Amino acid sequence: MAYSMDLRERVVAAVESGETIASAARLFSVTWPTARHWHNRYRRGELAPRTPGPKGPTKLTEADEQLMRDAVAAQPGITAKQLMPMLSVDVVESTVCRALKRLGLSLKRSR
């Protein structure tokens, strides 16, 4: 959960009025890295909290998803690590696992 805009504005106002970042953080019961972050964001004109959620589209294409479906159907014991080099883009193992879960496919666990 994000901190309120009111709290962010009060912390920044205290720093702008001459308080140190550490003392403003203590005064409003936030950590000094948080107060510093808010002050830096205020200077850039973006004090409001960012919206949570995905940061961008997935790298995997429809062709990659079809390749994963075919590979799992042909070789049910295949692992996510074995699928990674078959794809058209470089991704980490967790990306492959999330895509397989989204597609309703399950894999053997590598041990």
Query: Residues 35, 24: contact at Cβ < 8 Å?
Result: yes
Tens digits of residue pLDDT in 90-104: 999 999 999 999 999
In a domain, 109, yes or no: no
> Which of the 8 DSSP states describes residue 63?
H
CA atoms within 13 A on the CB side of 75: 9
pTM for the model stands at 0.51
User: Looking at the 3D structure of the chain, how many domains does it have?
Assistant: 2
Q: What is the mean pLDDT of the chain?
A: 90
In a domain, 10, yes or no: yes
Query: Residues 59, 94: contact at Cβ < 8 Å?
Result: no
In a domain, 24, yes or no: yes
Tens digits of residue pLDDT in 3-48: 999 999 999 999 999 999 999 999 999 999 999 999 999 999 999 9
